[in-house]
Amino acid sequence: MTWQFAIIEPLDTDEKLKDIDRLSCNLATIHAKDKEATASIFKDFFSDAELIRLEPDISDQFVLSWKSTVKQFTGNDEYEKFMDRCNSKPELVERMNKIYTDKTTKKLELDNDLTRQIYLHAELNILASVIRQKKKESRIFIGISKRCCYLCELYINFLRLKGYSIFINGGHKKIYSAWKLPLVEDNFNIGSLDYTVY
């Protein structure tokens, strides 16, 4: 297939039309033709693609208070020393603030138990749907706006060991605190946890 492009002059060739207006019109014409050409080239490529809308999987996670958890391991006497060491590390303070700051009062709540929302990441939401439909023989390419996190990458590697053909655009090796496992068969999640932890 050969595409020919021609610049279409505006119908109004009045002298009032400035050079910049003509240039804008010409660029818009080229852009429209390029869009038309691209659409027809990729039309067949995506003709067999199936689009399924998945609802986000969000749930509440109970978080034990920082203070009571740390005191179980350090005792009352060592708690203040431990907190001083933690407060001297900016990256740790940032993570504590992210997890233990109350969303309404905007205050750090180290003494209280909290409830936080955790999310099933987009790539795992897609994979959970595939696992539930038992489409093991399907080739799956997951294209999302950013690279997947470390735990998602480990879960995907586990699925590959189980025979799933999954392709992703890579991982960034970061771990997020609000990560959760997809709801699939219990023995499947146990196996993935064994693979991830050990």
Do 108 and 126 sit in the same domain of this protein? Answer: no
**Per-position pLDDT tens, the chain of length 198:** 444 444 444 445 555 556 667 777 777 888 777 777 777 666 666 667 677 788 888 898 888 888 888 888 888 888 889 999 999 999 999 988 888 888 788 888 888 888 888 889 988 888 888 888 877 777 777 777 788 899 889 888 888 888 888 888 888 888 887 888 888 775 676 777 777 766
Q: What is the pLDDT of residue 5?
A: 43
- Alpha-carbon distance values, 179 to 113, 175, 182 (Å): 19, 8, 10
Q: What pLDDT does residue 171 have?
A: 85
Read off the pTM.
0.60
Residues 98 and 134 placed together within one structural domain of the fold? no
Pairing of strands 114-119, 58-63: antiparallel
Say if residue 193 is in the same domain as residue 126: yes
* Residue 83 falls inside a structural domain: yes
Domain span holding position 162: 122-197
Residues near 49 by beta carbon (within 8 Å), at least 6 away in sequence: none
Tally of structural domains, the chain: 3
Can you give the pLDDT at residue 45? 66
- Do residues 165 and 136 share a domain? yes
Beta strands, E only, the chain: 58-63, 114-119, 139-142, 165-168
